[in-house]
Amino acid sequence: MKRMDTLGKLRVLGAAARHDASCAAGALKSRSGQGKSPAFPGIYISWTDDGRRVPLLKVLYTNRCAYDCAYCANRASADVPRVSFTPRELADLAAALHRRGSIAGLFLSSAVHRGPDHTMREMIEALRLLRQEKGFTDYVHVKALPGADPALVREAALLADRVSVNIELPSPESLRFLAPQKDRRSLLGPMRELAAGIAEYRMEIREDRGRGPRRHPFAPAGQSTQLIVGASPDSDLCILRLTEGLYRRYGLRRVYYSAYVRVNDDPRLPPLTAPPLLRERRLYQADWLLRRYGFRADELLDEGSPFLDEELDPKAAWALRNLHLFPVEVNAAERHVLLRVPGIGARTAERILEARRCHSLGFEDLAGVGVDMKRARHFVTCRGRCLHSREPSPEELRRDLRTAFADSEESEGAQLSLWGNTRWPARDADAASCLTGEM
């Protein structure tokens, strides 16, 4: 068989990486904006919090896999072309794309070829060449493979900005059923190693305080993971309890959720006709409440209602179940109470606290500080007064909230941030030229 060139490998391994949601990136469209194919294989975009487009090379190191996970397009039994980069090929490719302004970072994942340690060593060598020989100083996100030697996980964290280990399935039972060659220990082991290394690094930074030379950064952007939604019968409550535990025990920066896409015909998989995208969105909203609003998983769901409401965002659904806690007086409520009011977010709560230091707020002031009155009007009072003349029934409240939330969902962008406010260039370029001539 004829040896595949670098461009051919990139076409296969860039397409193979598209199902990994851990970098919150979408395909980079052609300059005309038409069609669904990327402008160049393996180049995807993410967005910073201020709306800038950021291209990155999102690619697998290899799709040769020793595992046969039922849900994976690259499973050992799948009939797909099998290719691998060499460390030199990948480093040259990423450096050339970066030099020409085509990418502003690298997201590197991989199937498990021969074994996790073998593949991790090859990925680490590619990163070493990219960092030390090519002088690449921009963002790198690398996957630590389940079951890899802890020393290799730490070595990868010294070369990457972020490291992630994909749990993929939220319960041990689902892992045994759909991915029998993986287990919870092999997944949580690398997470535990990363958490310890990140904690040590941050402690040393705090203790040094500029008095001596800093040690080499250890995954300065933290660690993350991905959970597949809908490939197994696990409930949203099961997923959110796991998420809550990961944030608490391992200090993860993010848990990403990926709506299951049926890529294999396997009797163990559910017969979904379409990816459960709405369920994925609700989980992201609930995740935000866990991380930023002080909610707990068991407040949002319980054994009697283990799935998130499809019609309402999780905060509104929680408020309807806890009407005895409302209305809230905006001129007296503490910050953590304001954060539980539908239509009041973190920034809006801060504005309320700041504004009421100067004067008592009326309903006419709330919209000016950012309160979504379509959602909040039934849950707040101003100077002891309600906005509505009579108390609405729970059914009326639900109808109003459903309408208000549908309007807001139509206007909100669905893309999630990868880098926050990190300043990356956002330039388009014809990347094909980097694979011709010297790299």
Question: Each residue of 147-188: pLDDT tens digit?
Answer: 999 999 999 999 999 999 999 999 999 999 999 999 999 999
pLDDT > 70: what percent of the chain? 84
Q: Are 234 and 171 in contact, with CB atoms under 8 Å apart?
A: yes
Q: Are 235 and 176 in contact, with CB atoms under 8 Å apart?
A: no
Residue 432 reports pLDDT greater than 50: no
pLDDT of the residue at 437: 37
Buried b (16+ CB within 10 A) or exposed e, 334-371: eeebbbbbbbbbeebbebbeebbeeeebebebbeebeb
Tell me the domains of the chain and their CATH numbers. Answer: 6-302 (3.20.20.70), 314-411 (no CATH)
* DSSP, residue by residue, 151-201: HHHHHHHTT-SEEE---BSSSHHHHHHH-TT--HHHHHHHHHHHHHHHHHH
Q: Are 89 and 9 in contact, with CB atoms under 8 Å apart?
A: yes
pLDDT of the residue at 212: 55
Q: Name the band, by pLDDT with cuts 50, 70 and 90, for residue 421.
A: very low
Residue 422 reports pLDDT greater than 60: no
Beta strand 53-60 with 43-47 is: antiparallel
CA distances from 93 to 32, 128, 279 (A): 25, 14, 37
Q: Which two tokens stand for residue 427?
A: 């330039």
pTM: 0.87
pLDDT of the residue at 41: 79
Which of helix, strand or coil describes residue 6? helix
pLDDT of the residue at 49: 57
Beta strand 380-382 with 254-259 is: unpaired
Tell me: the pLDDT tens digits for 237-253? 999 999 999 999 999 99
Which of 36-45, 151-160, 189-198, 392-401 is predicted with the least confidence, judged by mean pLDDT? 36-45
pLDDT of the residue at 427: 31
Task: Find how far residue 434's CA is from the centre of its chain.
Answer: 30
pLDDT > 90: what percent of the chain? 72
pLDDT of the residue at 418: 44
Q: Name the band, by pLDDT with cuts 50, 70 and 90, for residue 228.
A: very high
Q: Name the band, by pLDDT with cuts 50, 70 and 90, for residue 205.
A: confident
What whole-number distance in Å separates Cα of residue 136 and Cα of residue 324? 56
290 or 19: which leads in pLDDT:
290
Which of 37-51, 250-264, 290-304 is predicted with the least confidence, judged by mean pLDDT? 37-51
Task: Find how far residue 62's CA is from the centre of its chain.
Answer: 22
Q: Name the band, by pLDDT with cuts 50, 70 and 90, for residue 330.
A: very high
Q: Which two tokens stand for residue 136?
A: 């690449």
pLDDT of the residue at 428: 33
Q: Name the band, by pLDDT with cuts 50, 70 and 90, for residue 23.
A: low
Kindly give the residue spans of alpha helices, DSSP state H, lying in 294-432. Answer: 297-300, 314-321, 335-338, 346-355, 363-366, 373-376, 394-411
pLDDT of the residue at 420: 41
What is the mean predicted confidence (pLDDT) over 223-229?
96
What whole-number distance in Å separates Cα of residue 200 and Cα of residue 220? 11
